[in-house]
Amino acid sequence: MKFRRKSENPDPGGSAEPTDEGVDDLLDVEGPFDIDELPDDGVQRVDLGSLLIAPEEGRELRLQVDESTQAVQAVLLAGTDGALELRAFAAPRNGDLWTEVRPQLAADLARRGGTATEREGRFGTELVCELSVQTAEGRAANQASRIIGINGPRWMLRGTFLGRPATDPESAAAWEDTLTRVVIRRGDHAMPAGDPLPVVLPDSARRTTPGE
């Protein structure tokens, strides 16, 4: 969680009078949010179990499903200029799972012939990645992505930006705002650190067989 305040240093004399500005600062909270800390913002989110996603105009919510197990592997918000892939994982209490997994992600990308460079961004240290892929026409192309990890209470949210949000700061700002509206429901059950939190299909999206 990021709590933004205009001043981190209180008046050393303790003589400052309360102001409306201080009240606004306390309400100026940036997500993503834990389900127990969700502010009353009036947003009706799509409930996918461990992830609650705010609808976004001009963006389509897609679920990547493993056909063999019917398990949802990732949540994707897709737009005309790019996409945001969301995955949530169990993490140790008060731990820093993102620092642990960044080198693993970079090493995996290197094994596939790509590159991953660390840089500081809005949410802390992130990975800027490039990977050579084959297009549908059979041509080689470079695919850029940007991976952000955010540690929460016993969870870590990983967001991967694809397309223009990975390379264009102007386009990235609106997509990063989308990330701040995500809510994570960790649950109380024990899970090994690094295990993905389960995502479930909403009732309206569940597959049915003929006759049901």
Domains and CATH numbers, the chain: 38-204 (3.40.1000)
pTM: predicted TM-score of the whole model, two decimal places: 0.80
Average pLDDT over residues 65-69: 82
172-190 pLDDT, tens digit per residue, is: 999 999 999 999 999 999 9
101-136 pLDDT, tens digit per residue, is: 999 999 999 999 999 999 999 999 999 999 988 777
* Cα–Cα nearest to 51, from 86, 101, 78: 86
For residues 204 and 201, give the distance between their C-alpha atoms in angstroms, rounded to a whole number.
8
Average pLDDT over residues 14-36: 59
